[in-house]
Amino acid sequence: MHRSGILFVLSAPSGAGKTTLCDSMRKTPDFFYSVSCTTRAPRRGEEDAKDYYFLTEAEFRRRIGRGFFLEHARVHGFRYGTPIQAVKDALVRGLDILLDIDVQGARQIRTNTDAAIRTALVDVFLMPPTFAELEQRLRKRATDDEASIRRRLSTAREEMRHWREYDYVILSGSVEEDVQKFRAITRAERYRATRLTLDEFATGG
């Protein structure tokens, strides 16, 4: 028996705990983690080709023109996009992918013209427990200046209105709780009959 790869998409307002959750998942061999492209500058400690591919605006636009992206969007004033080829290759190989992208990107994947991509998609929204908690988490992170925090909070309000568009919603608690809930979703999705092929029957053996 084998199964096709699943395209897990995780969206959350920044500060909701998404990076921590993704980093925990990244430490396991369960997922192929896609590295996005962005036009924003690297934060302290971030590495090119590991955290993001850091591109100029001109290079990003050239890649849009070449059909390089599965989806791309403007978030907090910068461009972000998912390279399509790595995603397609991983799905064909039966690997599960984890994408950490915003609500606009998730929407673009839901309406992708390629049926293989749409059926592979499982999208999850990580909801901060309260707006006040989100603000506190953003401030504690201390990687952004005041203007950037304000912008992220206003984007968060807008993003949180879209939770109903997702297959699953996790109300964020502790890191351990979030990881457990996310794992429960990934486990169940891996056993879906529609994703499985019985090789014995498929080959007539």
Residue ranges binding ligand 5GP (CB under 6 A)? 14, 36, 40, 71, 73, 75-76, 80-82, 100-102, 104-105
Given a contact cutoff of 8 angstroms between Cβ atoms, the answer to whether 144 and 78 are in contact is no
DSSP of 7-34: EEEEE--TTSSHHHHHHHHHTSTT-EEP
- Closest to ligand 5GP by CB, 140 or 199: 140
Shortest Cβ distance from residue 12 to ligand 5GP (Å)?
7
Which position's Cβ is nearest ligand 5GP?
A: 105
- Closest to ligand 5GP by CB, 97 or 101: 101
Shortest Cβ distance from residue 115 to ligand 5GP (Å)?
21
- Closest to ligand 5GP by CB, 47 or 199: 47
- Closest to ligand 5GP by CB, 57 or 187: 57
Which residue bears the tokens 């109903």? 164
Which residues are CB-contacts of 126 (< 8 A; sequence separation ≥ 6)? Answer: 10, 11, 12, 16, 17, 18, 21, 169, 170, 172, 178
